[in-house]
Amino acid sequence: MKELALTLGGVQINPPSGVPAGGLSYLQIVLNNALTIFIIAGIFLVLIFIVWAGISWITSGGDKNKLAAARARATWAIIGLIIILLAFFIINTLSFFFKVSLLNFP
């Protein structure tokens, strides 16, 4: 913590208790929380798009353009889900190799 210490006139000024001092452990906590939020939000959005595509498919009424749009929406939602799962796998693989826990789900 010497690198982050504030000095005034050669005297080190210590922060009050309870103030986060930063450092790599704090960065790990921030990354862990951010990645967890992004993955959960992404999966939630994918589910919304799949439901939206299903409703569009049901209400298409035989119109080929509406049916094609609903099929495309469902396809892109599934591709998005695959990308999210691949990102999860890559993050876990990098965490294993660098021995840093970036995803700790409670």
Q: Domain extents for the chain?
A: 46-100
| Separation of alpha carbons 4 and 13, rounded Å | 11
Query: For residues 25 and 104, is the Cβ–Cβ distance under 8 A?
Result: no
pTM higher than 0.85, yes or no?
Answer: no
Residue 84 · residue 39 · CB < 8 Å: yes
Token pair of 37 as six digits: 């939020």
pLDDT in tens, 68-96: 999 999 999 999 999 999 998 998 898 88
Q: Which residues of 65-88 are buried (b: 16+ CB within 10 A; e: fewer)?
A: eeeeebeebbeebeebbeebeeee
pLDDT digits (tens, 9 = 90+) for 40-71: 999 999 999 999 999 999 999 889 999 999 99
